[in-house]
């Protein structure tokens, strides 16, 4: 558990899922049915975190594990994948997303043995791209028409030493 000024970052729990789904609906165009959140929780709960203030969930991050070719060399590796992250607008720019990502990065490495972490982000989402830049992710390549509306994604990756 991490404490920021007035916020706590803690592991997600099943009763949080309805609030997480609400934040996802309010903040991102990629929305998922409840079973998707539950499945990720059931399989990768150690890398699933929420930010909370005064008993209210105001941000979340969820991740999964997968196999794939390294983005830093020709090897097959186990990697973490950041599936979704969001912070409610009223609570942004206070370091909450950074702490959420740092907690998941640590869990993906230590609990799931990830060698790298990847994520996709809209090329127009400069706030998120800067967040990942700052945390040491590399911009790997553009994925053409990755999103349903035809927008391109920036593939980003982080390699653990
Ligand atoms: C992207 C998002 C998660 C960032 O959350 P946050 O809690 O505000 O992020 P942080 O406070 O930890 O910001 C860390 C750094 O990211 C960058 N950043 C964050 N928001 C930014 C913005 N609006 N404009 C420019 N840079 C920004 C800055 O470098 C910032 O550091 P600084 O405040 O010291 O300058 C949040 O804006 C959000 O929920 N957006 C909608 C959902 C989304 O886009 N998710 C990502 C999909 S891949």
Ordered by where they begin, the domains of the chain are 2-117 (3.40.630.30)
Which residues are paired to 117 by β-bridges?
A: 80, 158
For ligand 1, whether the C-beta of 135 sits within 6 Å is: no
| Average pLDDT of the chain, as a whole number | 96
Q: State residue 93's pLDDT score.
A: 97
Distance CA(110)–CA(12), nearest Å, equals 17
- The model carries a pTM of 0.97
Our CA angle for 57, 30, 118, nearest 5°, is 85
Q: State residue 97's pLDDT score.
A: 98
Q: Could you tell me the distance, in angstroms and rounded to a whole number, from the CA of residue 126 to the centre of ligand 1?
A: 8
Q: State residue 45's pLDDT score.
A: 98
Residue nearest to atom 21 of ligand 1 (CA): 127
SS3 call for 13: coil
Q: Which atom of ligand 1 is nearest to the CA of 86?
A: 39
Spatial contact of 65 and 80, defined as CB atoms under 8 Å apart: yes
> Residue 91: enclosing H or E segment and its boundaries?
none
pLDDT in tens, 89-107: 999 999 999 999 999 999 9
User: Is 77's pLDDT higher than 90?
Assistant: yes
CB atoms within 10 A of CB 8: 14
Q: How confident is the model at residue 5 (pLDDT cuts 50, 70, 90)?
A: confident
Q: Could you tell me the distance, in angstroms and rounded to a whole number, from the CA of residue 93 to the centre of ligand 1?
A: 6
Residue nearest to atom 32 of ligand 1 (CA): 93
Residue nearest to atom 23 of ligand 1 (CA): 127
Q: How confident is the model at residue 1 (pLDDT cuts 50, 70, 90)?
A: confident
**Could you tell which of 9, 127, 133 is best to mutate to test the pocket of ligand 1, judged by most ligand atoms within 8 Å of the CB?**
127
For ligand 1, whether the C-beta of 63 sits within 6 Å is: no
> Residue 77: enclosing H or E segment and its boundaries?
strand 76-87
Number of residues that make up the chain: 161
């Amino acid at each position: 558990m991490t404490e920021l000024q007035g916020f706590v970052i803690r592991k997600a729990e099943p009763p949080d899922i309805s609030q997480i789904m609400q934040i996802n609906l309010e903040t991102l165009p990629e929305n998922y049915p409840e079973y998707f959140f539950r499945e990720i929780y059931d399989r990768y709960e150690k890398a699933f975190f929420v930010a909370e203030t005064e008993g209210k969930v105001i941000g979340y991050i969820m991740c999964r594990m997968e196999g794939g070719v390294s983005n830093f060399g020709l090897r097959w590796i186990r990697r973490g994948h950041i599936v979704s992250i969001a912070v409610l607008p009223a609570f942004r720019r206070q370091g909450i997303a950074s702490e959420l990502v740092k907690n998941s990065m640590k869990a993906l490495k230590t609990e799931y043995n990830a060698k790298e972490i990847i994520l996709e982000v809209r090329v127009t989402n400069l706030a998120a791209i800067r967040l990942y830049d700052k945390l040491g992710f590399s911009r790997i390549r553009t994925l053409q028409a990755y999103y349903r509306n035809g927008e391109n994604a920036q593939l980003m990756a982080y390699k653990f030493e």
